[in-house]
Chains A and B, each alone.
Chain A
């Protein structure tokens, strides 16, 4: 019994770290462009599929870690330029546009990859004893990669020119433009980075979940929950909320079935929305 609790809690924690990557992408897009991105779950799904394609093309799993975010970034930049820019960040229209985008991404994957779900074998096999449980090494490795990627992203946001531009445009668009920051280019880059984060999350998660053209549908509500509970526009809050939620779901799953776990985190989220709409971790940092 104690073993199952520990195992599911660990699974929850690690899944939470990967979700944090994806939710961070959603939060960045939302905070900067005011876009409610219904297609974000599919960005993750595209990442898992890219990992599968690069594995089957080259025989080397690790290339996927490079290919998925790169292609994700390019796709994101193109999508921003073609679809998102013409609708001028009108949130209601963004829902329709990204809904259409979600259909197109899913259908394109169904045509090219096929409708049958597939699995990727973990590139690092074997288990390691951890607190008395035999734990899969790849999951631990995935957690480490996710943490490293999160750290890199926050360093990027704090210390590179593009990162500073992104924060500046989010803080005050008019002033940022007046100071000579190319806001349009920042928007294109931001959407690309959001897609890249989700796609990278997909590549890391591919050996843990199944690769399926509908794989993003379940991930999307979870990412939105993390973004809301963490507080809209609060990036560290998003990460903390994703990890916390997933960890809690893992704990509840050890005593009840997964659906009950999902329902309880939804109820928790309703309570947060009603009582602390600014999120669990402080205010609207926009």
Chain B
């Protein structure tokens, strides 16, 4: 209980005081971690809570990105409508592909999601005038809002950090509420046994579709944020390797836990930032880490931590038990 309280205090205080404590470089790294962890959370929502391993979340990330970039660059939208367009594009795409994809399960689901994302990746690469292909399109950031005639935008790294933190926290909070709602319990029932779930009257297809669109929302928001963060959109972010990285972050962090994706994403991005400035072959360390973590922590880092915590919890009552009982128990 105290641990939960300490955790809550930590979450309320520390992330909000970060820009005061460290320099701009690390603020921007943490901003990036937050954005990508939301992307990993969309993989986690599907795999960790509904049991569907999607290998194509990059598609919805890409739609979020392009919704923002095209909205600003081609349609001349201001900040919020462009943000909305990105999210709507991602959710619409998730709905359309979900109608087909969630009929399938396990291997077939993994493959069809990657196939859908590849189709749109190749389309985006070939429609160069619209999407800019691999080079992508750049745009200038519109201000988030005007206050007293002064424009406040994401060009200020501290404000950008707070904006991203607020959006990502909101999304994690929504996901938390979703998982703990009756709908979320339905998700868990499907994950554990979809036949039983359908026998107690749950509409497995509809629930999976809802989860798929919600995951599309999370991926779309992260894609839109990343477009704002990088001020550009590119087809390379729709390739299957981007989806694959999110799967790795999620599983290494701990699938089926709320903060597992955040831990996994933070681990890999921090290593990349620290090692890549000293040694160009940092992928070797990332690869080794991925392999070691599935061998020694198959339930992820957060899963491992939870295992330790519950074992500690079990041990305490044994110590408190009367000594006579323990004496008798030993032969």
Contact of B244 among A97, A99, A232, A257 (CB under 8 A): A99
**Hey, which chain B residues are within 8 Å of A95, CB to CB?**
53, 55, 244, 247-248, 251
Question: A117 at interface (Cβ–Cβ under 8 A)?
Answer: no
Closest Cβ of chain B: how far from A100's Cβ, in Å?
3
Taking a contact as CB atoms under 8 Å apart, the answer to whether B119 and A93 are in contact is no
Q: A102-B287, A103-B284, A111-B281 are in contact. Are A267 and B107 (CB under 8 A)?
A: no
Partner of A96, one of B103, B119, B290: B290
- Cα A104 to Cα B292 in complex, Å, equals 13
What B residues does A204 contact at CB under 8 A? none
Most buried by A among B100, B119, B252, B289: B119
Interface string of A82-120 (1 = CB under 8 A from B): 010011001111011101111110111011000000000
B100 / chain A contacts, CB cutoff of 8 Å: 270, 274
Nearest chain-A residue to B245 (Cβ)? A99
B294 proximal to A (CB < 8 A): yes
CA–CA, A270 to B269, complex, Å?
34
8 Å CB contact of A87 from B106, B110, B114, B294: B294
Which size bracket describes the interface of B in this complex? 35 or more
Q: Kindly identify which residue among A93, A100, A274 contacts B289, using a CB–CB cutoff of 8 Å.
A: A100
Complex Cα gap A97–B244 (Å): 11
Pairwise interchain contact A93-B298, C-beta atoms closer than 8 A:
yes
B200 at the interface (CB under 8 A from A): no
Partner of B294, one of A97, A110, A262, A274: A97
B283-A106 in contact (CB<8A): yes
Q: Are B251 and A93 in contact (CB under 8 A)?
A: yes
Known contacts A103-B290, A104-B284, A107-B283, A270 near B115 by CB under 8 Å: yes
Interface residues of B in 127-142 (CB under 8 A from A): none
Determine how close the nearest CB of chain B comes to the CB of A163; give it in whole angstroms: 25
Let me know if A266 and B281 touch, CB within 8 A.
no
Within 8 A of A (CB), among B268-298: 281, 283-284, 286-291, 293-295, 298
Q: Is B126 at the interface (CB under 8 A from chain A)? A: yes
Interface of A is mostly: helix
B284–A107 contact, CB under 8 A?
yes
Whole-angstrom CA separation of A269 from B112 in the bound complex: 8
Residue of A100, A107, A269 near B291 (CB, 8 A) is A100
The answer to the question of A66 belonging to the interface, with a C-beta cut-off of 8 Å to chain B, is no
Point out which of B110, B290, B291 has the most chain A C-beta atoms below 10 A from its C-beta: B291
Q: Are B248 and A99 in contact (CB under 8 A)?
A: yes
Q: Are A99 and B290 in contact (CB under 8 A)?
A: yes
Chain B residues 80 to 108 lying within 8 A of chain A, measured CB to CB, are 100, 103-104, 106-108
A28 within 8 A of B: no
* Contact status B108-A38, CB under 8 Å: no
B288–A221 CB distance below 8 A: no
User: A259 to B287, Cβ gap below 8 A?
Assistant: no
- Nearest chain B CB to A149 CB, angstrom units: 26
Q: A228 touching B125 by the CB < 8 A rule?
A: no
A281 to B119, CA, bound (A): 24
Count A interface residues, CB 8 Å. 41
Residues of B within 8 A of A8 (CB): none
CB proximity of A146 to chain B, nearest CB, Å: 25
Given the known A-B contacts A36-B107, A92-B47, A100-B289, are A267 and B241 also in contact in the complex, defined by CB atoms under 8 Å? Answer: no
Q: Does A124 belong to the interface (CB within 8 Å)?
A: no
- B11 contacts the other chain (CB 8 A): no
Bound Cα distance from A260 to B116, whole angstroms: 14
| Interface residue B187 (Cβ < 8 Å from any Cβ of A) | no
Whether A110 contacts B116 by the Cβ 8 Å rule is no
Nearest Cβ in chain B — how far from A43, in angstroms?
Answer: 15
Query: Which chain B residues lie closer than 8 Å to A106 at the CB level?
Result: 283
Q: Are A273 and B290 in contact (CB under 8 A)?
A: no
A86 touches B115 (CB 8 A): no
Contact B122 A263 (CB under 8 A): yes
Contact residues in B for A277 (Cβ distance below 8 Å): 104, 108
- The distance in angstroms between the C-alpha atoms of A110 and B125, with both chains bound, is 26
B residues in contact with A269, CB < 8 Å: 115
Contact between chains at A108 and B110 (CB < 8 Å): no
- A95-B247, A263-B122 known; A273 vs B283 contact (CB < 8 Å): no
Residues of chain A within 8 A of B237, CB atoms compared:
none
- The digit string for A255-286, where 1 denotes a CB below 8 A from any CB of B, is 00101101100110110011001000000000
CB distance from B254 to the nearest CB of A (A): 12
Report Cα–Cα, A90/B298, bound state, in Å. Answer: 9
Chain B residues in 8 Å Cβ range of A52: none
Set of chain B residues within 8 Å of A38, measured between Cβ atoms? 244
B295:A83 contact, CB within 8 angstroms? yes
Which residues of chain A in 109-159 are interfacial with respect to chain B, using CB atoms and an 8 Å cutoff? 110-111
CA distance A83 to B126 in the complex (A): 38
Which 10 residue pairs are nearest across A and B when measured between Cβ atoms? A100-B290, A103-B287, A104-B287, A100-B287, A100-B291, A259-B126, A107-B283, A93-B294, A86-B295, A103-B283
A interface residues (Cβ-Cβ under 8 A, vs B)? 36, 38, 83, 86-87, 90-93, 95-97, 99-104, 106-108, 110-111, 217, 221, 224-225, 228, 232, 257, 259-260, 262-263, 266-267, 269-270, 273-274, 277
25 pairs, A vs B, C-beta closer than 8 Å: A87-B294, A91-B53, A92-B47, A92-B251, A92-B255, A95-B53, A95-B244, A96-B247, A96-B248, A97-B290, A97-B295, A99-B287, A100-B286, A100-B294, A102-B287, A103-B283, A104-B288, A107-B287, A228-B111, A257-B126, A259-B125, A263-B126, A266-B118, A266-B119, A273-B108
